[in-house]
Structure 1
Amino acid sequence: MQSHHLAVYTFNQFIAPYQSESIRGFRDAEPGAFAEMDRASGFIARSGYEGEEGPMSWGPQVFPKCWENSNGDGWAPSTLSVWETIEALMAATYHGHAYRQGSKWHLARPVVPEYVLWWVPAGHQPDWTEAVSRFEDLMDNGPNDRAFSFRKAFAPDGQAVKPDAARVKAIARENQALADNE
């Protein structure tokens, strides 16, 4: 049994209000993206959002200090989930259709990361506040053993690691087989 799992928090800002026509493609793709994530090999759980159908929210949703309510709707695309391994998350993320189209809907903000990764003890469910704290750590301090990215990843023991590319491809094939069998 694994002693640690990988938590991931994603964050961005939309180019227009969530209900606008500009964001329609995102709204249309979102249910399928969540379904793809939920059935992916190595997926453990994800937080839902207060007041919405689906999984329970892991506490009140908060946003990082870099968030600006520039669209006036009080909303920003963010997710919080837990995975068995970094390779499982990479397979689901890099091969997911909706993830590859983010630039159509999100503001380009080169100094703000789009996600943060960190290890949690197996069975721990991070909340939104913990996730934002890790995101801000990455934004303020760069990749470290508490808050990192795929490009500069760390193992649970704090040692720098490179994800296993062959394992990522194998998991992606497993995920595609699952999708094909539905």
Structure 2
Amino acid sequence: MYNFGLHVAAYESPAVEGFRLREAANFEAAARAYGFIGRSGYAGEPGIACWGEQIFPRFIAGSGFATAPSSLSLWADIESLMAFSYSGVHADALKHARHWNVRQSWPPLVLWWLDADTVPAWKDGVERLEHLHDNGPSARAFSFKHPYGPDGHPAEIDRGRVKEIAALNAIGQGDLLAHVRALKV
């Protein structure tokens, strides 16, 4: 999964403080989430290794920013990623995202399948996000709204399984959710 957005102001500004305050909790919630395999770190930051040079899609052009919020991660399946994305800590951030991010004319994220021993690079995510924007969903680049399976055919998301996974995640992330709910928007 690769996602990309643009903030309404510089990362260090008070306008996006709510995002900044939640960022570490979101990364920790992902790490604790069922089905999470790993994520790329960011060049120059300690900790998790960066999966290649971080680049950004063409949608950054004219924004005035040299960098933008984006992430690149590996998940076991669509249901695990959806459960993380739309419940708990990350759902809290999505609820407030309109305060921190500009309205997008591009897909907010792109999904695609990889072989088990493959680690994507930032350039892969950028290329697939632009492909999704330019060509619509396909087995090469898709979204939750129009998912494809590992076999390359359109798929259905098992919503019951998403709910089950979200409930499992909630058990191990209650402390993080309490923390983010107490933060400034």
Q: TM-score, normalised by structure 2?
A: 0.89
Structure 1 counterpart SS, 2:34: coil
Residues matched between the structures, number: 173
1:68 corresponding residue in structure 2: 61
Distance in structure 2 (CA, Å) of the matches to 1:170 and 1:75: 36
Deviation (angstroms), 1:98: 1.7
Match of 1:117 among 107, 111, 135: 111
- The reply on whether 1:32 has 2:25 as its aligned counterpart is yes
Q: 1:107 corresponds to which letter in structure 2? A: V
Deviation (angstroms), 1:101: 2.1
Distance in structure 1 (CA, Å) of the matches to 2:117 and 2:38: 10
Q: 2:96 corresponds to which letter in structure 1? A: Q
1:5 corresponding residue in structure 2: none
Query: Is the CA contact (8 Å cut-off) linking 1:18 and 1:75 kept in structure 2?
Result: no
- The reply on whether 1:179 has 2:173 as its aligned counterpart is yes
- The reply on whether 1:107 has 2:97 as its aligned counterpart is no
1:169 corresponding residue in structure 2: 163
Distance in structure 2 (CA, Å) of the matches to 1:124 and 1:87: 20
Structure 2 counterpart SS, 1:177: helix
Tell me which stretches of 4 or more aligned residues in structure 1 moved more than 6 Å.
Answer: none
- The reply on whether 1:57 has 2:61 as its aligned counterpart is no
Q: TM-score, normalised by structure 1?
A: 0.91
Choose between structure 1 and 2: higher helix proportion: 2
- The reply on whether 1:147 has 2:135 as its aligned counterpart is no
Distance in structure 2 (CA, Å) of the matches to 1:141 and 1:92: 27
Deviation (angstroms), 1:102: 1.7
Choose between structure 1 and 2: higher strand proportion: 1
Deviation (angstroms), 1:69: 5.4
Deviation (angstroms), 1:53: 2.4
Query: Is the CA contact (8 Å cut-off) linking 2:56 and 2:67 kept in structure 1?
Result: no
Taking every aligned residue pair, what percent have the same amino acid on both sides?
42
